[in-house]
Amino acid sequence: MNRRVNMSRAEYSMTCVAPTVAEALGVRAPAPTFAEAMVGRQATGTPIPEIAGELVGSARVAILAPDALGMSSYEHFAADMPFLRSLCEARMVVLRSVMPSITPVNFAAMVTGCDLDGHGVRSKELDFQCETLFDVLPEHDRAGAGCGRPGYTGGDLLARCANINGTSELADDAGVEEVTLRIARKFRADFIIAQIGGTDDHFHRFGPRSDSARPKVQETDGRLARMCEELGALGYAIIILADHGQHDTGDPTHGGSHGSDSDEDCRVPCTWLAAR
């Protein structure tokens, strides 16, 4: 099922992201295979009504994805993320990662609307086995950008397969911020998806609720605030979500991990801003 209710919040599958973006932009959703695109079939996910209802008719949409910032970590660090908390308090749904709850599988789900069996991207070096938003947008004389660090899913998968390659020159989140905003200013890309990878790195190292990860969480909140301010001024509707969460391993040498079907690994917050 694409939707269920959990703890008074609507919960949707990660496969619903691509159809939601497609509806917001007024284009068709990707098909589950290239062959099925020829007969008009669409992805397995369905648009998220809370988001699509506010974003339909948007000229441009940007997805900003702080990697591994699941519900458990968000709730733990909410006081350290005043910008994100303010957005989530105004509007939020919960997304559930597809299995396995790892980065390339779920970023691939975001741009295809399919799970692993459909898109086939188990690792960032692989090619999509189905359509993506990057295949659909050129049909409408529009283009999408993928942004991220080299060596990460954002650079090695999303940027590689996008219409506009947004691999950052700097191997850090500052580089991702810079290239995302540069592409928005220069190309006015109709769709942008950016992986912000530092949260995942720190949660793996220290644990998803560790005090040692707090400075990175605070930095990420400031980065999201700056990116939303400029992207909003450029006419973008914005969706903020994570690809998965993390659980604490209890191992001081390797604090956090993910990949399971646990709520800690799979439930992530999703909030949004309509275009100005």
73-106 pLDDT tens trace: 999 999 999 999 999 999 999 999 999 999 999 9
Residue 169 burial (CB < 10 Å; 0-12/13-18/19+)? exposed
Q: Which residues contact 35 (CB under 8 A, 6 or more apart)?
A: none
| Residue 44 pLDDT grade (very low, low, confident, very high; cuts 50, 70, 90) | confident
CATH number, domain at 9? 3.40.720.10
- Round to whole Å and give the CA distance between 37 and 197: 32
Does 265 score more than 50 pLDDT?
yes
DSSP tag of 108? H
Residue 150 burial (CB < 10 Å; 0-12/13-18/19+)? middle
Does 41 score more than 60 pLDDT?
no
Cis peptide upstream of residue 100 (ω within 30 degrees of 0): yes
Does 268 score more than 60 pLDDT?
yes
Q: What is the pLDDT of residue 39?
A: 47
Q: What is the pLDDT of residue 7?
A: 42
Q: What is the pLDDT of residue 9?
A: 79
* Residue 198, phi then psi, degrees to nearest 5: -65, -35
Which helix (DSSP H) or strand (DSSP E) does residue 189 occupy?
A: none
Q: Which residue in this structure is represented by tokens 């789900």?
A: 109
18-24: average pLDDT? 98
SS3 9: strand
Q: What is the pLDDT of residue 40?
A: 53
Q: How many structural domains does the chain have?
A: 1
Does 5 score more than 70 pLDDT?
no
35-52: average pLDDT? 74
Q: What is the pLDDT of residue 254?
A: 84
Q: What is the pLDDT of residue 252?
A: 77
Q: What is the pLDDT of residue 32?
A: 83
CA distances from 250 to 2, 209, 244 (A): 33, 11, 19
Domain of residue 149 covers 3-273
Counting residues of the chain whose pLDDT is more than 70, the rounded percentage is 93
Q: How many residues does this entry show for the chain?
A: 276
Closest CA to 107 of 51, 167, 147: 147
Query: What residues form DSSP beta bridges with 148?
Result: 167
Residue 202 near residue 212, CB atoms below 8 Å = yes
CA 247 to mean position of chain CA atoms: 19
Q: What is the pLDDT of residue 173?
A: 98
Does 260 score more than 60 pLDDT?
yes
Does 6 score more than 80 pLDDT?
no
Q: Which residue in this structure is represented by tokens 């592409």?
A: 183
Q: What is the pLDDT of residue 34?
A: 59
Mean pLDDT for the chain overall = 94
SS3 6: strand
Q: What is the pLDDT of residue 203?
A: 98
- The pLDDT tens digits of the residues spanning 163-188 come to 999 999 999 999 999 999 999 999 99
Q: What is the pLDDT of residue 94?
A: 98
